[in-house]
């Protein structure tokens, strides 16, 4: 624990946006200092309500996030947004002259918007995103919204780590079937059918209802509803906020809130341990041992699984 | 090595489709027998040429895969297709009365189509997909096509593990920008602009070209081209097959082919070692130790990183 990290921790507690940004950047690049900061921040976390907004590309997740944020701001609640979505305007900035539409809420002092890189070899996307949420939580934001594109396991993991997970769909043909295949149906606490003024809205709702009948029911009796919205015209925003409130009360009343958070801690701690082990595992000499074996794999003398088992034995005898 | 696995190995070598299917199912469910089979199969792998076809949802990857497969069949080459794409008709079957369009090539004896589940808690998607490709390779298929949706890290990892990676885009506005953000631009050996009869095709090509100018160049001098296609009308298929051939010759002539395959083996072996360690790591007693710590995390007495470091120390002293 250094004086530097103490200073930055204090500044994060005071919602100093520059310090928040710097801390999240440290998390993203894997700077070891970030771990000390996160340890210090932890005691001040747990108060923010976390909302996951996910769905297929083009469903209007960012517009919806924008509207919900404005709604909470009118209630004087502060909002932190973390966008993990390669198709989100939040992640943008102007690219090659293509001016990406800027968020209406971006200049509000009670709003913090951050995008997380969805690629690159650094890995640990879901852990880093949740670490970043902890920073915003410790900084005192009342609401944290994860906006993630609903394709790919990491993105689903992030959406699932929220207290309330909203799946956004549109009336396009086949959209609900695709959502089911992508694993979106299982993680939704409720659905929003956005762009619901388009043709096919009612049959889309029927399709989602039918699929929901086949969903595995857990022990509790929460039934996901399907709300309609037209995010671009701010239609349905209040109903969505009400449904979030309803779900929150349900979680609290039935003691599921705390249980879910513990489940999320478990997933997260496991991921951290696995990363620590990987760092130890792939030190130079073991990488070299791997390199040397690969030629033999190419010639068919040995197989990937045999080499892996050998490296595993070597690792076990070394620690 | 059991007699059972010997039998099934022999049958796979003889392209017995039922045995191929059963082996891939074993790989998917993580049946330990599959590892013994893969070890035995390995010496017969390495002959198939592997093609990755990826891109955003709706780009027409399946239709293109279909056409390319028919083209190769006319040349008497056999083709194995592995679809890792929640939006692909190949992964389908009829769902809830929604009849998903069946592949035209599905009944051909020289074609094997298999979909891999993109979700579920089992994990290891890219390893399992490449294991499945090894089964098809050992069964003697000349060409293996990975069709993956270009969103999500695992899906990109799979596409990257091919000898030639094709990124399919469409002229939709913003599509190329999205592709860049999703990391598709870096992995393309060449591009196909599908549905190129739609408005905006030429400006899409200009956009891709501009982005390509900013791409990191590796040591070699291969320049990705952009081909046009209308997959639904079989326009452009021959040109795509020619470009694959050109890229293959380039790889072979410059000794990059073998180097890339070695790189892929390396990634794959690392993943296997990490999975072996995870199995050892999360045995019952350590899971219990984790459960016990979580309450203290909830109360703020300790933090996720402190618990993770404690579990890491325990693991090291136990192996």
Q: Please report the DSSP string for chain A in residue order.
A: --HHHHHHHHHHHTT-HHHHHHHHHHHHHT-THHHHHHHHHGGG-S-SEEEEEEESTTS-HHHHHHHHHHHHHHTT--EEEEEE-TT-GGG---BTTB-PPPPTTTT-TTEEEEE----STT--HHHHHHHHHHHHHHTT-SEEEEEEESSSHHHHHHHHTSSEEEEEE-S-TTHHHHHHHTTHHHH-SEEEE-STTSTTHHHHHHHHHHHHHTSPP-SS-----EEE-BGGGTBSHHHHHHHHHHHHHHHHHTTHHHHHHHHHHHHHHHHHHHHHHHHHHT-HHHHHHHHHHHHHHHHTSS-HHHHHHHHHHHHHHH-
What's domain B45-257's architecture?
A: 3-Layer(aba) Sandwich (3.40)
- Weakest-pLDDT range from A68-72, A98-102, B141-145: A98-102
Name B208's Cβ contacts closer than 8 Å, sequence gap at least 6: B169, B176, B179, B185, B191, B193, B226
Residue of B nearest to A100 (CA): B174
Q: Give the Cα-Cα-Cα angle A26, A32, A34 (nearest 5 degrees).
A: 45
DSSP H/E element including B71:
helix B61-74
Between B38, B96, B177, which is nearest A303 by CB? Answer: B38
Between B43, B123, B305, which is nearest A38 by CB? Answer: B305
Name A200's Cβ contacts closer than 8 Å, sequence gap at least 6: A171, A172, A173
Question: Closest Cα partner for A314 from B275, B277, B34, B267?
Answer: B277
* Minimal C-alpha gap between B285 and chain A (Å): 14
Cβ of residue B279 closer than 8 Å to a chain A Cβ: no
Digit-by-digit pLDDT tens for chain B (319 residues) are 445 556 899 999 999 999 999 999 999 888 889 999 999 999 999 999 999 999 887 788 989 999 999 999 999 999 999 988 665 555 443 232 222 334 567 678 899 998 887 654 456 788 899 999 999 999 999 999 999 877 666 777 888 889 999 999 998 756 666 666 557 778 899 999 999 999 989 988 888 887 777 666 655 678 899 999 999 999 999 999 999 999 999 999 999 999 999 999 999 999 999 999 998 999 888 999 999 999 999 999 999 999 999 999 999 888 7
Q: How far apart are the first and last CA of chain B?
A: 26
| pLDDT value at residue A143 | 98
Contact B312 A277 (CB under 8 A): yes
Q: What is the ipTM of this complex?
A: 0.85
Task: Report the alpha-carbon distance of residue B89 to residue A74 in Å, rounded.
Answer: 45
Cβ of residue A174 closer than 8 Å to a chain B Cβ: yes
Contact B303 A39 (CB under 8 A): yes
Which residues of chain B does A153 touch, with a Cβ-Cβ cutoff of 8 Å?
Answer: 118-119, 123, 125, 152, 154
Task: Report the alpha-carbon distance of residue A54 to residue A60 in Å, rounded.
Answer: 10
Residue of B nearest to A154 (CA): B152
Between A56, A98, A291, which is nearest B57 by CB? Answer: A56
With 0.95 as the threshold, say if the pTM is over it: no
The encoded tokens of residue A287 equal 């990488």
DSSP bridge partners of A53: A147, A166
Contact B91 A298 (CB under 8 A): no
Structural Rg of chain A based on CA atoms? 22
Contact B277 A315 (CB under 8 A): yes
Max Cα-Cα span within chain A: 68
Cβ of residue B125 closer than 8 Å to a chain A Cβ: yes
- List for chain B the helix, strand, coil content (%; round to 5): 55, 15, 30
Secondary structure class of B137 (helix, strand, coil)? helix
Given pLDDT bands bounded at 50, 70 and 90, which one contains residue A198? very high
Contact B43 A281 (CB under 8 A): no
DSSP H/E element including B227:
strand B226-228
Q: How many other CB atoms are there within 10 angstroms of residue B128's CB atom?
A: 24
Q: pLDDT tens for residues A223-276?
A: 899 999 999 999 999 999 999 999 999 999 999 999 999 999 999 999 999 999
**Residue B54 gets which letter from DSSP?**
E
DSSP H/E element including B147:
strand B143-149
Query: For the residues of B158-217, what is the DSSP string, one character each?
Result: HHHTSSEEEEEE-S-TTHHHHHHHTTHHHH-SEEEE-STTSTTHHHHHHHHHHHHHTSPP
| pLDDT for A56 beyond 90 | no
Q: How many inter-chain contacts (A to B, CB under 8 Å) are there?
A: 207
Residue B104 dihedral angles phi and psi, to the nearest 5°: -70, -25
Q: pLDDT tens for residues A7-21?
A: 899 999 999 999 999
Give the CATH superfamily of A45-275.
Answer: P-loop containing nucleotide triphosphate hydrolases (3.40.50.300)
The CA-atom distances, in angstroms, between B284 and each of A147, A259, A315, B294, B296 are 35, 20, 21, 16, 20
CA atoms within 13 A on the CB side of A141: 28
For chain A, the structural domain boundaries read: 1-42, 45-275, 282-318
Q: Within its chain, how far is the Cα of B107 from the centroid?
A: 23
Cβ of residue B198 closer than 8 Å to a chain A Cβ: no
The average pLDDT across A148-160 equals 77
**Residue B89 gets which letter from DSSP?**
G
Between B38, B86, B304, which is nearest A305 by CB? Answer: B38
Secondary structure class of B229 (helix, strand, coil)? coil
């Amino acid at each position: 624990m250094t004086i530097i990290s103490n200073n930055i921790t204090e500044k994060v507690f005071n919602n100093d946006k520059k310090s928040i940004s710097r801390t999240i950047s440290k998390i993203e690049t894997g700077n070891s200092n970030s771990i000390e900061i996160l340890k210090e921040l932890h005691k001040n976390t747990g108060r923010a309500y976390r909302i996951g907004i996910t769905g297929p590309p083009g469903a209007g997740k960012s517009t919806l996030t924008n509207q919900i944020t404005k709604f909470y701001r009118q209630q004087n609640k502060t909002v932190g947004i973390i966008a993990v979505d390669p198709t989100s305007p939040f992640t943008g900035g102007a690219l090659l002259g293509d001016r990406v539409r800027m968020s209406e809420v971006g200049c509000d002092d009670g709003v913090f918007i951050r995008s997380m890189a969805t690629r690159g070899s650094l890995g640990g996307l879901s852990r880093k995103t949740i670490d970043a949420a902890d920073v915003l939580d410790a900084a005192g934001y009342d609401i944290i919204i994860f906006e993630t594109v609903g394709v790919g396991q990491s993105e689903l993991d992030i959406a699932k780590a929220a207290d309330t997970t909203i799946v956004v769909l549109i009336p396009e043909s086949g959209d609900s079937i695709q959502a089911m295949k992508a694993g979106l149906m299982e993680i939704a606490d409720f659905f929003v059918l956005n762009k619901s003024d388009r043709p096919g809205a009612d049959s889309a709702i029927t399709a989602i209802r039918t699929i929901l009948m086949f969903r595995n029911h857990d022990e509790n009796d929460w039934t996901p509803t399907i709300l309609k919205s037209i995010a671009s015209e701010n239609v349905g925003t209040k109903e969505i906020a009400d449904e979030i409130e309803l779900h929150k009360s349900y979680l609290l009343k039935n003691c599921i809130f705390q249980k879910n958070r513990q489940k999320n801690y478990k997933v997260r701690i496991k991921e951290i341990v696995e990363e620590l082990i990987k760092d130890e595992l792939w030190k130079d000499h073991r990488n070299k041992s791997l390199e040397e074996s690969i030629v033999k794999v190419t010639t068919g003398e040995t197989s990937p699984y045999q080499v892996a088992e050998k490296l595993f034995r070597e690792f076990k005898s070394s620690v």
